[in-house]
A and B are shown apart, each in its own frame.
Chain A
């Protein structure tokens, strides 16, 4: 910042304003000497302003050590050598979302039951429940299972269901593929699937001015239907002899079967007491019809799922004024609640491109270790909500992003961010704490190495 080095001094007014012509005689510098810094205007040959920069001295005894700020960039010079630089990056920030003022129950549920023939599962029953109306579809009434699914979907492609979400528990499993296949063959409609990491997040079908969208309720409530029904205190699933429609266990599946109650061996995961209880439903030699029973069972699944989602939506709306149907996944809902209620004035940058990829490298999973459990007179520790605790009690990186090059520790006190470093570990540590991702050639592993 020693302006004597800029070039030939043309004028110097009271040591406050100095005009300098550069050595190559192409530019002019207009230097304004301020109390603790110099403001410099770089001018072209016709004396129009090109750029303004500000120089702050960093060493009183050495004019060649200084900090130069040009727009969003800062350069640190020591003895006229550039040793550190920073660049402020512009980003967009996370925005808040509006709350809903009306509870929305525009949803229905669908359940598909499959039979297993030579280890291949194919649908043979479909039930739909919209809160009032119960619909059922059975394979023997259609050409094939695809035809059955198309009929089922056609029955809900109606104006009155416009904007409805159709929840299927575990849609991302094989049910979704069957539905996708059927949907793709429905004429005069457009399909907009959102699939991420093999999860079917939202399968929207648009017909004319209307649309319905299939959702996977397992992505919203990650638990089995039976457990959820207990937790939400709604009518629970019933039982069904699944292996009665698996030709590994019943070599002669007859979808029109009407007769004796299937034997205990066809049921999965039930006790003999539960079986005896089940038999009591068929008193006075009442016969057991496969079609009737699977539809009853499948509809009960639908009713349970409907009640769970209804209650879940009601509780969320009550607490947060948001409808779950606007969020296809649980993390999406959590994020929505955060944006509607907790974002405040936090400037959370939306990372993209190179910055995202760079910072991603610093993310490794939680550190775990394996032991053969053995012990006598031992203490056992179980930490509750450790993850939320860490979120709550640690500061997070937000606000404006500054890129830097050089050893930041010498210029900025307690810098907070993500650094590219050469790391040397101690020679020995029983539990190395830093992890890195390492491609073994057989998949990427997270390891805690020692060395450099």
Chain B
């Protein structure tokens, strides 16, 4: 899988592509205002002002959230003797022992 814009760019450098299938979308500049506003805050505050740090953090923290997995994990806390019930009935991803000898 490759993003179309990366593909069009790579064609300029001699890559060739045979497209088999994929997904198309509409396109829009959805982060324009968010980034402009926060960048303006970042530029207009001195480095020792808390708003400088806040705007910098917010600028860098949004994008990754759009890549969140749609899989949610539930954590349950139970006694060791209940473990086999869980293993039989659920799909378990990870077990964190709490070491309370119970």
Partner-B contacts on A (CB < 8 A)? 86, 89, 146, 177, 180-181, 184-185, 191, 193-196, 221-223, 230-233, 311-312, 315-316, 330-335, 337-338, 341-342, 346-353, 355-356, 358-363, 385, 387-389, 391-409, 412, 415-426, 429, 433-434
Q: Which residues of A contact B24 (CB under 8 A)?
A: 86, 401-402, 404, 408, 412, 415-417
A181 & B98 in contact (Cβ 8 Å cutoff): yes
For B41, give the chain A residue with the smallest CB separation. A319
Query: Are A333 and B58 also in contact (CB < 8 A) when A184-B77, A362-B3, A385-B39 are?
Result: yes
Q: Which residues of B contact A359 (CB under 8 A)?
A: 1, 23
B23 & A407 in contact (Cβ 8 Å cutoff): no
B91 within 8 A of A: no
Q: Which residues of B contact A311 (CB under 8 A)?
A: 50
B29 & A358 in contact (Cβ 8 Å cutoff): no
A396 & B29 in contact (Cβ 8 Å cutoff): yes
The 17 listed contacts between A and B (C-beta, < 8 Å) are A180-B77, A184-B77, A312-B54, A338-B34, A350-B70, A385-B39, A389-B35, A391-B35, A392-B36, A396-B27, A397-B27, A403-B21, A415-B24, A418-B2, A418-B22, A434-B2, A434-B10
Complex CA distance for A407 and B67, rounded to whole angstroms: 27
For A231, give the chain B residue with the smallest CB separation. B53
A358 & B13 in contact (Cβ 8 Å cutoff): no
Q: Which residues of A contact B64 (CB under 8 A)?
A: 331
Which applies to chain B's interface (DSSP): helix, strand, loop or mixed? mixed
Q: Which residues of B contact A315 (CB under 8 A)?
A: 50-51, 54
B21 & A419 in contact (Cβ 8 Å cutoff): yes
For A361, give the chain B residue with the smallest CB separation. B1
Complex CA distance for A375 and B85, rounded to whole angstroms: 64
B15 & A424 in contact (Cβ 8 Å cutoff): yes
Chain B 3-18: CB-based contact to A (< 8 A → 1; otherwise 0): 1111101100111111
B65 & A346 in contact (Cβ 8 Å cutoff): no
CB < 8 Å neighbour of B16 from A363, A389, A405, A424: A424
B90 within 8 A of A: no
Complex CA distance for A314 and B34, rounded to whole angstroms: 20
List which B62-78 residues lie within 8 A (CB) of chain A: 62-67, 69-70, 73, 75, 77
Interface size on B, residues (CB 8 A): 62
Query: Are A193 and B10 also in contact (CB < 8 A) when A392-B36, A406-B21, A408-B19 are?
Result: no
List which B35-49 residues lie within 8 A (CB) of chain A: 35-36, 38-39, 42, 48
Partner-A contacts on B (CB < 8 A)? 1-7, 9-10, 13-36, 38-39, 42, 48, 50-51, 53-54, 57-67, 69-70, 73, 75, 77, 96, 98-100, 102
A396 & B50 in contact (Cβ 8 Å cutoff): no
B15 & A422 in contact (Cβ 8 Å cutoff): no
Complex CA distance for A12 and B99, rounded to whole angstroms: 83
A426 & B27 in contact (Cβ 8 Å cutoff): no
A404 & B61 in contact (Cβ 8 Å cutoff): no
Which applies to chain A's interface (DSSP): helix, strand, loop or mixed? mixed
Closest chain-A Cβ to B78's Cβ sits at a distance in Å of: 9
CB < 8 Å neighbour of B35 from A184, A361, A392, A423: A392
Which 3 residue pairs are nearest across A and B when measured between Cβ atoms?
A399-B26, A426-B14, A397-B25
Closest chain-A Cβ to B82's Cβ sits at a distance in Å of: 12
Closest chain-B Cβ to A325's Cβ sits at a distance in Å of: 16
B31 & A421 in contact (Cβ 8 Å cutoff): no
CB < 8 Å neighbour of A421 from B18, B50, B57, B75: B18
Closest chain-A Cβ to B37's Cβ sits at a distance in Å of: 8
For B18, give the chain A residue with the smallest CB separation. A422
A392 & B26 in contact (Cβ 8 Å cutoff): no
A417 & B4 in contact (Cβ 8 Å cutoff): yes
CB < 8 Å neighbour of A358 from B1, B5, B53: B1
CB < 8 Å neighbour of B26 from A180, A400, A433: A400
B17 & A415 in contact (Cβ 8 Å cutoff): no
CB < 8 Å neighbour of B75 from A193, A397, A401, A402: A193
Q: Among A233, A341, A409, which residue has the most Cβ atoms of chain B within 10 A?
A: A409
Complex CA distance for A337 and B38, rounded to whole angstroms: 11
Q: Which residues of A contact B65 (CB under 8 A)?
A: 331-332, 334-335
Closest chain-B Cβ to A366's Cβ sits at a distance in Å of: 12
Complex CA distance for A349 and B63, rounded to whole angstroms: 15
CB < 8 Å neighbour of B13 from A89, A330, A426: A426
Q: Give 15 A-B pairs besides A193-B77, A402-B24, A418-B1 with Cβ atoms closer than 8 angstroms.
A: A233-B50, A312-B54, A331-B61, A350-B70, A358-B1, A388-B38, A399-B26, A399-B28, A400-B26, A407-B19, A412-B24, A417-B3, A417-B25, A421-B7, A422-B18
B60 & A388 in contact (Cβ 8 Å cutoff): yes
Complex CA distance for A429 and B15, rounded to whole angstroms: 10
Complex CA distance for A151 and B62, rounded to whole angstroms: 39
For A320, give the chain B residue with the smallest CB separation. B58
Q: Among A392, A394, A433, which residue has the most Cβ atoms of chain B within 10 A?
A: A392
